Amino acid sequence: MDTIALSHEEEVVKWVHNIRDELLRTFYNNFKEVDNFLVDIIKCTTPKEYIEVEKTFMKPDALMKPGKIPTSLNNLKTKVDSACYFSSVFLTKWAGETIRPILEVLLNRVKTTALKYERISAEHKEMLDEYFNLETKFADSKLENEKIVEDLEIRIRKLEVEVLAKEQIKSKNDEIVTNLENRIRNLEADIIAKEQIILEKNEINNNLWGKIKVLEEKKGTANG
């Protein structure tokens, strides 16, 4: 994820938390004075008394008019104490009336945002179309680049194989050359050894011929 996308995500999370806290504070703030209402409500012993008290607290445009009690609480067979019963009815309706404006604010924001988005989309349709075209071109270019990279990788692998083969050939040639050089050195050593033997034989022959010549000279002198 790039830095811009991460920044936007963090901004959205922060905004949601702030709005949530703001709306919850609004909701709970509406209950700050509720104990003043409950003081009168717990004194009620009949639905008629409760309805009269409720009229003094609920707004005229309340969703549930005085006397309209939630089905789950409007049970004639209930064994709950009247104070608890009417307090529950009141708190349920009070919570509903408290959350109504909060829901209206949220829905208004959602609708307003949607309308703004539609307006911006209409105003910048050409720009958005160009953006999507660029995205498409970028995707196509990415695929093409990936194909080029893949082709290059294949060529590189082939070159590596060729280089390896040439290195192996060179290694074999070097080995052959080394063997030939060793054989030449061995032959040179043999030649030198044989030449030495020949020299030694020649020296022996020369010595023998010298001795023979001396003997012949002595023999000639004796005969004369």
Q: Which tokens in the block code for residue 213?
A: 């010549």
In the structure, what pLDDT confidence band is assigned to residue 9 with cuts at 50, 70 and 90? confident
Quick: pLDDT tens for 10-22: 887 888 888 888 8
Quick: pLDDT tens for 31-88: 777 877 888 888 888 878 878 888 877 766 665 665 555 555 555 565 666 777 778 7
pLDDT of residue 1: 45
Which contacts of 83-91 are long-range, i.e. CB under 8 A and separated by 24 or more positions? 83/41, 83/42, 83/43, 83/44, 86/41, 86/42, 86/44, 86/50, 87/38, 87/41, 87/42, 89/50, 90/37, 90/38, 90/41, 90/50, 90/54, 90/57, 91/34
Angle at 214 between CA 209 and CA 218, to 5 degrees: 145
In the structure, what pLDDT confidence band is assigned to residue 4 with cuts at 50, 70 and 90? low
Percent of the chain clearing pLDDT 90 (strictly above) = 0
Where are the chain's structural domains?
A: 3-142, 150-224
Angle at 199 between CA 195 and CA 202, to 5 degrees: 135
Percent of the chain clearing pLDDT 70 (strictly above) = 83
How many CA within 13 A on the CB side of residue 79? 0
Residue range 148-174: mean pLDDT, rounded: 85
Q: Is the model's pLDDT at 7 over the cut of 70? A: no
Collapse the DSSP code of 2 into the 3-class scheme (helix H, G, I; strand E, B; otherwise coil) and give the result. Answer: coil
Angle at 144 between CA 143 and CA 145, to 5 degrees: 90
